[in-house]
Amino acid sequence: MRNLKLTLAYDGTDYVGWQTQTNGRAIQEVLERAISKLTGESSKLVVAGRTDSGVHALGQVCSLLTNTSIPCLGLRAALHDILPEDILVREIEEVPLDFHATYSAKSKHYRYVIWNSKLPNPFSKRYAYHYHVTLNAEAMQTAAQELLGTHDFRCFESRWPNKATSVRTVLRCSVTRQTGWPIFGYPEPSESKPYRSAKMPVTPVVAPGHEFLWIDIAADGFLYNMVRSIAGTLIRVGRGYWQPSDLRRIINDQDRTLAGETAPAHGLYMVSVEYGGADRDTADAPTNSTSYSMNRIPVIE
């Protein structure tokens, strides 16, 4: 028996989310079918985080117990040949049998991307939320710091009460303006240039100014629609409707109706999952720079 860890990227536009459902095509369903075709086994994947309909991933992680003898590189290459163009297996590696993509995760990093310009951008409309009124990124950054630490975040949860707890620990959160958004360009561990699949869109969207606004947040776990609700709340701060200090009041009042709206799904990305040890976050919260070292997702100009 082998335990395989798969790192994935996908365009979630045409899917009902990660989890297999009866109302449409899911990432899990498509990937399990492809793996079963190659291994002859009934594949069952466990995933780090179940992304919702329309949400994208740059570094989603899932794991699979299998008896197949296909080498990791061979399996990845074969999957590239049969998977649809909007799903990419970035890496497959063999891990200890006790590794579990869900329960072994120490933290997850999400990014919400906003195209903050008066005019829409036809090249980013599937991958960034167009918000036409100029947002105050500095005020949003100040407000984001109120999220740090361990709190009951039910004010940002769309399905409260849940069966467990709404307490989560936010490790870092930042709001920055950027000149570009690479979408689907990735670094290979041993190469200086981004990994590119001929089957996927890789050309970055680059703007002359800093129209792209990134909301990066890493935590030990997330509630349903938590990141999108935080994005909607920070947008209200960016508009000047609320002060940065209002974030603390909203958290303390624990009332979803007091927070901002849930931002659209197509601006949200699961960037990476950290498992500790040798694993580390592959795309740390950015500065205003537009170039990244090898362990980060690059912006290409």
Q: Which residues are known to be catalytic?
A: 52
Query: Phi-psi category of 183—alpha, beta or left, where left has phi over 0 and alpha has psi -120 to 50?
Result: left
In angstroms, rounded to a whole number, what is the distance separating the alpha carbons of residues 264 and 274? 25
**Cα–Cα dist 248/259, whole Å:** 11
Assess contact for 34 and 27: CB atoms under 8 A: no
Residues 6+ apart with CB under 8 A from 95: 3, 4, 5, 63
Give buried/exposed letters for 45-72 (b at 16+ CB in 10 A, else e): bbbbbbbbbbbbbbbbbbbbebebebee
Instruction: Return the sign of the alpha-carbon dihedral for residues 200, 202, 203, 206.
Output: positive
Cβ 251 vs Cβ 146: under 8 Å? yes
**Which token pair is 290?**
């537009």
Phi then psi for residue 33, to 5 deg, are -65, -40
